[in-house]
Amino acid sequence: MPTPSMEDYLERIYKLIEEKGYARVSDIAEALEVHPSSVTKMVQKLDKKDYLVYEKYRGLVLTAKGKKVGKRLVYRHELLEDFLKLIGVDKAYIYDDVEGIEHHLSWDAIDRIGDVVQFFQENDERIQLLKEIQRKNEADEIEEM
């Protein structure tokens, strides 16, 4: 399994390739807010682990393994964003919250969160019931103050 740092790079590389058709070291550095030299070192590590093929000055291409992992990492990130939106987390916190938790959950936990998201999305009444519970709890918290 890739390290959390490797995961961040693979996720970003996968997204860049999906969006632009390619991912250059400079694009990755800008997206992750790191120095190009850091990207080069990580890309070389990912090349050695067969997640991508990197040729200096020519760019990089994800291997089948890299594409599979990258796609799964993007899914995980988007699923966690959907989950946090669904349960009513303020949009201002969602990105940082996802970044903070995504590497600390097992794939089993991710799959169960996917089940919960699907459960709510399949029936709008369930979402409304959740919102009613949240409103009640917020009102109770205000009363206790």
The pLDDT assigned to 58 comes to: 78
Q: Where are the domains of the chain?
A: 4-68, 75-144
pLDDT (tens place) for every residue of the chain, 145 residues total: 899 999 999 999 999 999 999 899 999 999 999 999 999 999 999 999 999 999 887 789 999 999 999 999 999 999 999 999 999 999 999 999 999 999 999 999 999 999 999 999 999 999 999 999 999 998 877 777 7
Enter the CATH code of domain 4-68.
Answer: 1.10.10.10
Binding residues for Mn(2+): 8, 11, 77, 99, 102-103
Please name every residue paired with 60 in a beta bridge, in sequence order, or none if there are none.
54
Q: What gap in Å lies between CA 113 and CA 35, rounded to an integer?
A: 34
Residue 60 host element (H or E): strand 59-62
The answer to whether 13 and 71 have CB atoms below 8 angstroms apart is no
The pLDDT assigned to 55 comes to: 83
The pLDDT assigned to 138 comes to: 85
> H helices then E strands: how many in the chain?
7, 2
Enter the CATH code of domain 75-144.
Answer: 1.10.60.10
The pLDDT assigned to 19 comes to: 94
Nearest to 28 by CA among 18, 16, 19, 41: 16
Binding residues: 8, 11, 77, 99, 102-103
The answer to whether 46 and 3 have CB atoms below 8 angstroms apart is no
